[in-house]
Structure 1
Amino acid sequence: MVTLVPVDTRTELTGFLMSRRAKLRPETVGLPQYGERRRVPGLRREELAQLAGVSVTHYTRLEQGHGRNVSAEVLEAVAAALRLTSVEREHLTNLVHPPRRVPGPDEPHVRTDLRCLIEGMEHTPAFAHGRHGNILAWNESAGRLLGDLDALPPPRRSWPHLVFLDLPFRSMIDDATEWDLIARQHVAYLRLSLGRYPQNPDMDAVVESLRSSSADFRRLWAEYQVADWSGVTCHLRHPVAGDLEIAIDVMKPGGEPDQWLVTFTTEPDSPSQEALRQLAT
């Protein structure tokens, strides 16, 4: 049984800022180098504070997790100095000023029209998942491609659990590079969601379960990557359908900010399309 350890926002803020500071080099941001041996990778705190135009004391307190009183202007200056993407800036803001929880169910039901859309994709495996990758609705084709989703207990019926902990599914992705790309997307999105939904027991439970059960997850989680979903193409070696070249696309249905539609498609008139059609019938 996994012991739930709530994710500490201050620790997250410290790790995130340190990881981004470590990625920068003095020569790439216009700072002089004097040939001295650097004991840590990337920029020093003093150098980052100089780039951001803030005091070393202010930046140090921020990196130590004391960010509640930091202004939006200071956060923007730090984000610019760290060369953060728009999604990383959102994450930084969420860690410093956590969003308020909106009253209502933590995981709303899938809309009827979205369920009909999924079920109508007769030859296209598809499912809808929630905030932390929990699979909420799926069609028969998805079950045949991914395995018996009905047989999985709800805590393990999730997209990240399939990728990291479901051995039959993971064994279908025999290219380590492709698996790593998919795994990194899951980890980066989970970390983004952690900031969007602070103090969420379900989110904490998913992260702790993966962290305690998967060395690969722990390795990638330690990198503090943050990103939204994006599509990816991979090769699956399915035990029934054989070799499949699959495009995994992720879309956000209109009016559902906390749910995503995932589809598995193939090139038209390709051997993979025919094999997927045979699998679905």
Structure 2
Amino acid sequence: MDHGNELGEFLRARRALVPAEFADRSPDPARRVPGLRREEVALLAGVSTDYYVRLEQGRERHPSRQVLIAIARALHLDDAAVAHLLRIGFPDLHPTSAPVTRVAPELQRLMDQMAGVPAFVVGPGQDVLAANALAQAVYRGFSAFDNLLRMIFLDPVAREFYLDWDQVARTAARNLRAAAPAAVERTEQVVGALSVRSPAFAALWAEHDVGPRTTEVKRFRHPDVGEIALHFESLTVVSAPGQHLSVYTVEPGSSSAARLEALASPAHDSVR
């Protein structure tokens, strides 16, 4: 992650994603610029083209909040992207606590007592810091249950395991960027390793998309029990900055519920 001109890189990447018609321009087959031109963003935001160019080039380092909000509207950013824009625009106003990588014994005990619910703790850079037995059983097919980004982008079983791999990969990259301010050093390590080894990750990271992953339905093809759909929820661990408790629940009476129960059974453990 290059912090030299993070704001400019973000603006350029997001400008390229906005369709030209959002600037009241008719589609032009001869148009060479993907997305909006700089002058179009400036016009929509109500600032001079020269000022906007200086923002992208990193020659203007002190934009006002009003200017950034106006640019966010011009780029049609959602709430998560606006929050990210303000963080990188005003880094001194968003101090962060040092992330905690040790999982409290009480939290581990809570997960262990959730016998029928897969649960695990994710920390800086999407490292898996702790997990209960059922969560480990869900991810049994991977070479290691250690870092969600490494598993998704580098483990060869991932594209078979995740039925919606493309969406999972995009969501994971967006979530990593959303969590980056809370764990800059570890995020840089993960981004550096993945960018070299995974062209898919490098392409997604270059889009500068951002969005915290809080709840969704995840569809897996488990090597032991077959296809299973689980509802994912991410809960902030208030006592440990940078940690999130991830839990999976299942629709009662569904085929996924029966398959999850099979994973949780002592008979399944004995077979393994």
TM-score w.r.t. length of structure 1: 0.83
| Unpaired stretches in structure 1, ≥5 consecutive residues | 1-6
Moved more, 206-215 or 92-101: 92-101
Q: 1:160 aligns with which of 129, 149, 154?
A: 149
Match of 1:191, SS state, is: helix
Match of 1:167, SS state, is: coil
Moved more, 205-214 or 253-262: 253-262
Trace 1:15-30 onto structure 2 (pairs within 5 A): 15-29=9-23
Q: Does 1:48 align with 2:48?
A: no
Match of 1:132, SS state, is: helix
8 A Cα contact 2:219 2:227, kept in partner:
yes
The verdict on how the C-alpha distance between 1:262 and 1:36 changes in structure 2, with shifts beyond 3 A counting, is closer
> Could you say which residue in structure 2 is the equivalent of 1:186?
172
8 A Cα contact 1:189 1:227, kept in partner:
yes
Give the AA of the match of 2:155. D
> Could you say which residue in structure 1 is the equivalent of 2:78?
85
Distance 1:148 1:40 in 2: 44
Give the AA of the match of 2:173. V
> Could you say which residue in structure 1 is the equivalent of 2:258?
274
Give the AA of the match of 2:118. P
Q: Does 1:109 align with 2:98?
A: no
Match of 2:153, SS state, is: helix
Match of 2:157, SS state, is: helix
Match of 1:109, SS state, is: coil
Moved more, 140-149 or 46-55: 140-149
Distance 2:242 2:227 in 1: 33
The percent of aligned pairs where both chains have the same amino acid is 34
Equivalenced residues, count: 264
8 A Cα contact 2:120 2:132, kept in partner:
yes
> Could you say which residue in structure 2 is the equivalent of 1:9?
3
> Could you say which residue in structure 2 is the equivalent of 1:127?
120
8 A Cα contact 1:162 1:170, kept in partner:
no
The verdict on how the C-alpha distance between 1:238 and 1:224 changes in structure 2, with shifts beyond 3 A counting, is same
Distance 1:193 1:137 in 2: 18
8 A Cα contact 2:120 2:129, kept in partner:
yes
Distance 1:168 1:268 in 2: 28
| Unpaired stretches in structure 2, ≥5 consecutive residues | 266-272
Deviation at 1:235, TM superposition (A): 3.0
Match of 1:13, SS state, is: helix
The verdict on how the C-alpha distance between 1:69 and 1:14 changes in structure 2, with shifts beyond 3 A counting, is closer
8 A Cα contact 1:147 1:169, kept in partner:
no
8 A Cα contact 1:182 1:232, kept in partner:
no
> Could you say which residue in structure 2 is the equivalent of 1:59?
52
Root-mean-square deviation (CA), in Å? 2.6
Deviation at 1:137, TM superposition (A): 1.3
Distance 1:34 1:148 in 2: 47
8 A Cα contact 2:233 2:247, kept in partner:
yes
> Could you say which residue in structure 2 is the equivalent of 1:4?
none
Deviation at 1:102, TM superposition (A): 4.3
Distance 1:168 1:83 in 2: 36
Match of 1:76, SS state, is: helix
